[in-house]
Amino acid sequence: MGARRWLALVLVLTFLVGPPAVRAVQYAEGLPAGVVAAEVDGQPIDASNVPETDEPSPQVTGRINNGLASVDVAIADGEVVRFALEVDERGRFRGAPPTPLEPGEYTLYFFDALVGSFVVTEAAAGEQRAGARGAGTAGAPGVDIARVVPFPFDFGEAIPDLGLLDGRYFTLNDEALRSATAAGDASAESVDETRRTLRESGWQGRYESRLAVPLPDDPSRFSVQVSSFAILYDEAESAEAAFAASTGSGEAVSSATVGDESELIALAGTTPDTGAPYQALRLIYRLDRILGMVILADLAGGEVDQTLLESVAQAVVTRGTAVLNDEAVALSPRALRLDLTDATGVSIEEAYEVVDGVLIGLYDEDDALRQGREATYSGTSDAYASTVTAVARGGEDGGIGTPEAATSTVAYGTTLLSFLSAEDADLWLGDLPDRLTEDPLRGYLSFSAVDDAPVFGEGSATYAFQRQVGDDVAVGFRVYVRVGAEVAAVEFASVEETTLEEIGGLVTAQIACLEIAACPSDAPIPGARQGRTPDERVATAEGEPAADDGAIRREGRDQREEAEEGNTTSDPTEAPETETETDAPRGGGVVDVAPTEEPADGVNDGGVEEIGA
C-alpha cells in the first residue's frame, strides 16, 4: 500500500547505542496518565500484559483523553525507534513502526512514559496460527459490529414471520483462511499472505447475519431472505477504498444515499438449489469506517420493496452511528471466545437475542419457545449469545483427546445479559431458580444446582447437567455470574469428563472481559491439545463435516427436537457451508443462503460478493 497512511506526517527514526533515550519510570499497574487504552496487534499491553506477535510490523493502537493531536511513540530494545501517530476526534490512534522489527522483546513508550513490553516472535512460513481468532492474533475488535445489521423489528409489520436464522463473527484469521480456501489454495503460506494483505488494507473484522421467512408447508425452505454483513476497517479512508472497489460493477438503481455513500443494485436469477426464480435488491453502504451490505430477496420471484430496504438500511446506519460513538451497549466484543486453532468440525453461532429491550424473533419460532425466551430475558436491556461445538484433540496428561480417546466433541457457550442497573441484575440472578422452572431448557437430560460450588464475581449460581450431543451424552456445567449490571451464563460440556475447576477458568476469564469491556485473547479449550497440523487445518477449511450444531444453544432456545428420540428433521439454523458455487440466494434453509464466497484472488478487500446470474 506504499507509505502507511495512518502514520503521522512526520516520522523521526533515531538509532542510539546504549540505553534507550527515554525517561526511566517505575513500572506500575495500569497505563500512563492520559492513556485510556493501548494495544499491540489487538492485544492489551500494560504492566501485567505482555503481547506476543509474529508480525514484524505490529499495529500499535490505543486511545488517549488528554486532547493532544498526536501520540509520541518509542519502541526500544537497546536501540530506539521513534515515531508519531495522529489522533482522531475520538482520541484513537493507530499505526506501525516505520521499519520492521526483528524477533525479540521490546518496550513500548508513549510520551516517554513506559507502557509495557511485547515480544515479536520468529515464525516460519506456514507455522503461524491460521485458525486463531482476532484482529492480529486474538480477540474481537472493540467496535460492536454485531449490532450494525438488520433485525426483524427493523421491518415492522412489513414482512410477517421474519426471524433470525443465524449470525457469525469472522476475525482477521478466519477471513484469511476462508478467502484463501475459496481461492483454491488453503496452504498455510497462502493463508499467511492473505492475512497480511487483509491487515494492510485495514480490515479488522466482519459480522454476517441472515433473516428469513419459512415457507408455510416446508420450514426448511425460505420465501424471503435478508442477508447482511458489516465489516470494520481501521479508519474511514480504508473503508472508502473498499467501498470503491466493491461498487460500480453494475447498473445502479436511483435511490436515497444511506450513510456516507451507498449504491443500490437490482438482481434477478434462479436459486442454485431449487431452481426457483428470485428478485433481490442489494444495498452497499459506507458509514465512517464500516462497510455494510443488506440484500433483500424474494425467493418466490415477487417484486422487492425498495422503500422498505432503504428504510431498514437507514435504521442500521442509525444504530451504527451510536455504536461508533460509544453510545450503545457493546456486548459482542466482551463475549469470551475459545481458541479454536487446534479444533476440527467447528460450528459457531453468535447473535444478539435482545436489542434495546426488544426480543429478537427467531426463525420458525413457535409460541412455546418464544414464551420461554421471554421469561429468560425479562428485565434485560440487551443480550448476546455465542455458542460453539467442535471436536477437540490432544491431551498427553489425561485430558480431552488422550491416546485412549483421540477426540471428543465439546460444546461451549457464553450468554451476556445487560440490565439497566446492578440491582436489576441481582434481582434477575436471585429469581433464576423460578425462571429455570418456567423454562426447563429442552434437550437437557438433567440440570441441577451445585450447592457447594465456589462463588464467582459479585454473585453466582452453578448448575451441572447432562445432555445429548449427537449420539453421545455430554457432561458439563453452567455458571451464571454477575458483574455489576451484567450477568454472564458460561457453559462448557464434553463427552469426556469435565471438571468444575476447568469451567471455573472460563468463568474467571469471562469476568475479566466484562470488567475491562473487552476480551483481549481467546481461552484455550479445557483439556485440549494445542498444535494442529496444516493438513488438519486445510481439511476443516475445505468442508470437513461440522460437529452437531445442536450440542449447545442459546439460553432457553428450542433444541429443534434434535436431542429427542426419533427426530430426523434438519436444523434450518445449521452453520453455513464455507464454500458455495454461486452467491445467488438459495431457497432451502439447510444450505448456505448468505453470500460467503470470496473473490478468486483470495483477498476480499471490500467483502462484497456478486449475487445472481
- Position 361 in a domain: yes
Cα of 307 vs its chain's centroid, Å = 30
Task: Please report, for the domain that includes residue 51, its CATH number.
Answer: 2.60.40.10
Partners of residue 491 on adjacent β-strands: 413, 478
Write the Ramachandran bin of 226: left for phi over 0, alpha for psi from -120 to 50, otherwise beta: beta
What is the pLDDT, as a whole number, of residue 276? Answer: 79
155 and 286 housed in the same domain:
yes
314 and 348 housed in the same domain:
no
Residue 19: pLDDT over 60: no
- Position 550 in a domain: no
What is the pLDDT, as a whole number, of residue 440? Answer: 57
From the CB of residue 582, how many other CB atoms can be counted at a distance below 10 Å?
A: 18
Task: Please report, for the domain that includes residue 288, its CATH number.
Answer: 3.40.1000.70
299 and 401 housed in the same domain:
no
As a whole number of angstroms, the distance between CA 526 and CA 537 comes to 20
Domain that residue 353 falls in: 343-529
Q: Which has the minimum average pLDDT: 147-151, 202-206, 297-301, 398-402?
A: 398-402
Q: Which has the minimum average pLDDT: 131-140, 461-470, 520-529, 553-562?
A: 553-562
Instruction: From 529, 562, 594, give the residue that closes a domain.
Output: 529
- Domains in the chain, number: 3
298 and 398 housed in the same domain:
no
pLDDT digits (tens, 9 = 90+) for 338-391: 988 778 888 899 999 999 999 999 999 988 888 888 988 999 999 999 999 888
280 and 244 housed in the same domain:
yes
253 and 399 housed in the same domain:
no
Partners of residue 384 on adjacent β-strands: 352, 416
What is the pLDDT, as a whole number, of residue 271? Answer: 81
pLDDT digits (tens, 9 = 90+) for 71-126: 999 999 988 999 998 887 778 888 889 888 999 999 999 999 999 999 998 753 33
Instruction: From 496, 529, 562, give the residue that closes a domain.
Output: 529
What is the pLDDT, as a whole number, of residue 68? Answer: 87
Task: Please report, for the domain that includes residue 473, its CATH number.
Answer: 3.40.1000
Q: What average pLDDT does range 408-430 have in this prediction?
A: 94
64 and 179 housed in the same domain:
no
- Rounded-to-10 torsion of CA 532, 536, 537, 541: -150
Q: What average pLDDT does range 276-297 have in this prediction?
A: 95
161 and 289 housed in the same domain:
yes
366 and 251 housed in the same domain:
no
Q: How confident is the model at residue 574 (pLDDT cuts 50, 70, 90)?
A: very low
Q: What percent of the chain has pLDDT over 90?
A: 44
Q: What average pLDDT does range 529-535 have in this prediction?
A: 42
321 and 347 housed in the same domain:
no
pLDDT digits (tens, 9 = 90+) for 164-176: 999 999 988 889 8
Q: Which residues of 557-574 are buried (b: 16+ CB within 10 A; e: fewer)?
A: bbbbebbeeeeeeebbbb
Q: Which has the minimum average pLDDT: 374-383, 404-413, 497-506?
A: 404-413
418 and 321 housed in the same domain:
no
Residue 2: pLDDT over 50: no
What is the pLDDT, as a whole number, of residue 394? Answer: 55
88 and 215 housed in the same domain:
no
- Position 508 in a domain: yes
- Position 567 in a domain: no
Q: Report which of 293, 382, 371, 301 is spatially closest to residue 334, judged by C-alpha positions.
A: 382
Instruction: From 65, 87, 120, give the residue that closes a domain.
Output: 120
- Average pLDDT value over all residues in the chain: 77
- Position 435 in a domain: yes
